[in-house]
Amino acid sequence: MEADLLIHVVDASHPQARKQIDAVMEVLGELGAGDKPTLMVFNKIDRIKDESQLDLLRIEFPESVEISALKGIGLEELKNRLADEMARSEITLNLKLSYADGKIINYVHEHGTVLKREYSENHVLLKARMTRSEAMKLRRFAGR
């Protein structure tokens, strides 16, 4: 399964929310996605009658986000967390660069992990992993 981040949305108001989480985690494991980074999102927090149920989920999933999609509660926090998670996720780049692109080559070496390097007469081919946010900074070198 190809994914930088899984978003696991849980109906936090459901009395069996924890069992539902376990069932989803089991299926993700069967699909080979059990080790993928996951953002736990507790929805319907406006409908929770027993706050202790949410407290238990908070303890077990301290990095979770709580929202009410219906009432718009927590959506800004969710949006910010998604942006943060995506910026931290790593991507693989395949770059064909001229030797005159020394600044880009140095930047990739300093801010990423070079997986493969091939040299030819006119260019260098780099295969590298780096965070999405660092890769986006490469744009500043384009169109110099």
- Asked whether residue 1 is assigned to any structural domain, the reply reads no
- If asked whether residues 21 and 80 sit together in one domain, one would say yes
Q: Is the pLDDT of residue 141 over 80?
A: no
Q: Are 117 and 72 in contact (CB under 8 A)?
A: no
Backbone angles phi, psi at 94, to 5 degrees: -115, 110
Q: What is the pLDDT of residues 6-40, one digit of tens each?
A: 999 999 999 999 999 999 999 999 999 888 889 99
- Between residues 140 and 132, the one the model is more confident about: 132
Give the number of other Cβ atoms within 10 Å of residue 48's Cβ: 19
Dihedral sign from CA coordinates of 105, 5, 36, 66:
positive
- If asked whether residues 69 and 10 sit together in one domain, one would say yes
| Helical spans, DSSP H, in the chain | 17-30, 51-60, 75-88, 102-111, 132-137
Q: How many helices (H) and strands (E) does the chain have?
A: 5, 6
| Domain stops at, among 88, 104, 129 | 88
- Asked whether residue 58 is assigned to any structural domain, the reply reads yes
Q: What is the pLDDT of residues 54-111, one digit of tens each?
A: 999 999 999 999 999 999 999 999 999 998 888 788 889 999 999 999 899 999 999 9
- Asked whether residue 41 is assigned to any structural domain, the reply reads yes
What count of Cα atoms within 13 Å lies in the side-chain half-sphere of residue 27? Answer: 6
- For the chain, how many structural domains are there in total? 2
Q: Model-level pTM?
A: 0.70
The pLDDT assigned to 144 comes to 45
Helix (H) or strand (E) holding 131: strand 123-131
- If asked whether residues 107 and 84 sit together in one domain, one would say no
- If asked whether residues 110 and 74 sit together in one domain, one would say no
- If asked whether residues 41 and 97 sit together in one domain, one would say no
- Asked whether residue 63 is assigned to any structural domain, the reply reads yes
- Asked whether residue 30 is assigned to any structural domain, the reply reads yes
- If asked whether residues 48 and 111 sit together in one domain, one would say no
The pLDDT assigned to 11 comes to 97
- If asked whether residues 13 and 84 sit together in one domain, one would say yes
Residue range of the domain that includes 120: 90-141
